[in-house]
């Protein structure tokens, strides 16, 4: 799948998204967030071949058939490749003074109304996909934004959804059997196991991966002003608080109808 646009779709019926550089909106043309290039979803029902009238145990007694025969399995599963994320910094004390002298505090590097003011980093090297332990991106590959008028246009400013997150997969499985007592009384007994393999679903959702989460957040910085001239001073590493969880695969997220951890639900339904 290849779905591109110049601004993200937040899924909100009344609010779309914020373009980072509203003077050059086409500069944000690229892959949409939370869209996988490859995605497979499957559902299925399978009658186990055991019991009266089935390939195995067709001659078993009614009592044996009532216990081991006539069971049915159901499943649903998904597998998908990673999705795009936008790296960003937040400013802790930007108020009347803003990098670039923008004059507003609603600047949003991600565009989902969750981190304002926020700024996109400068890409210092191409090894931003370097993996270390459970951290899949290299924070050292990103620098601080400019505080001058080139805050949007300086060379190497990060693009929307330039980072790719992890792929993931999950499977739900159910086991059920109908017990017919009379023509009018029927009971359904079974168990449904969400995420039966207890596989961690590491692809972050919009809360964790967007402007309100820590997955693509590089950290925060403070701005300083020259007390003589009133001009903003270049950002100093001493004024930066890095986010140590940037790009780390440390959480599992419910998605595609699969729970973020293994859960078992027992089912008994009597119809009469």
Number of independent structural domains in the chain: 1
Interacting residues of 88 by C-beta distance below 8 A, sequence separation 6+: 109, 110, 115, 118, 119, 120, 121, 158, 211, 216, 217, 218
Q: How many Cα neighbours within 13 Å face the side chain of 39?
A: 12
Q: Nearest-CA neighbor of 244 among 127, 137, 113, 126?
A: 137
Give the single-character DSSP code of 86. Answer: -
- Domain containing 83 equals 4-271
Give how far the C-alpha of residue 117 lies from the chain's centroid of Cα atoms, to the nearest Å: 22
SS3 breakdown of the chain: % helix, strand, coil, rounded to 5?
10, 30, 60
Confidence (pTM): 0.84
Over residues 24-41, the mean pLDDT reads 85
Q: Give residue for tokens 């790009």.
A: 247
* Residue pLDDT, tens place only, 142-179: 999 988 888 888 889 999 899 999 999 999 999 999 88
CA distances 218 to 86, 91, 211, 214, Å, are 10, 11, 11, 8
> What pLDDT score was predicted for residue 15?
60
Residues 228 and 258: beta-carbon distance below 8 Å? no
CA distances 77 to 92, 205, 261, Å, are 42, 18, 14
φ, ψ of residue 73 to 5 degrees: the values are -110, 150
> What pLDDT score was predicted for residue 163?
94
Could you check whether the bond before residue 34 is cis, i.e. omega within 30 degrees of 0?
Answer: no
* Residue pLDDT, tens place only, 72-126: 999 999 999 999 999 999 988 887 677 766 766 778 888 888 888 899 999 999 9
Interacting residues of 63 by C-beta distance below 8 A, sequence separation 6+: none
Q: How high is the mean pLDDT of the chain?
A: 87
Interacting residues of 237 by C-beta distance below 8 A, sequence separation 6+: none
């Amino acid at each position: 799948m290849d779905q591109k646009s110049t601004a993200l779709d937040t899924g909100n019926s009344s609010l779309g998204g914020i373009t980072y550089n509203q003077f050059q909106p086409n500069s944000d043309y690229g892959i949409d967030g939370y869209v996988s290039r490859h995605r497979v979803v499957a559902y299925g029902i399978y009658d186990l071949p055991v019991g009266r009238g089935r390939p195995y145990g067709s001659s078993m007694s009614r009592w044996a058939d009532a216990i081991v025969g006539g069971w049915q399995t159901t499943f649903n599963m998904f597998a998908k490749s990673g999705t795009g994320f936008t790296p960003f910094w937040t400013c802790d004390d930007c108020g009347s003074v803003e990098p670039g002298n923008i004059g507003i505090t609603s600047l949003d590097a991600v565009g989902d109304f969750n981190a304002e003011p926020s700024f996109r980093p400068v890409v210092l090297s191409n090894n931003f996909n370097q993996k270390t332990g459970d951290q899949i991106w290299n924070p050292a590959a990103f620098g601080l934004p400019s505080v001058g008028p080139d805050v949007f246009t300086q060379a190497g400013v990060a693009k929307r959804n330039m980072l790719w997150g992890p792929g993931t997969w999950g499977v739900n499985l159910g086991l059920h059997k109908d017990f017919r007592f009379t023509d009018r009384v029927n009971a359904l007994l079974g168990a449904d196991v969400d995420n039966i393999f207890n596989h961690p679903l590491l692809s972050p959702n919009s809360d964790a991966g967007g402007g309100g989460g820590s997955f693509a957040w590089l950290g925060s910085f403070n701005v300083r002003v020259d007390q003589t001239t009133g001009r903003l001073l270049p950002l100093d590493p001493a004024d930066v608080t890095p986010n140590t969880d940037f790009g780390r695969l440390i959480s599992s997220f419910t998605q595609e109808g699969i729970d973020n951890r293994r859960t078992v639900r027992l089912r008994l339904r009597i119809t009469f």
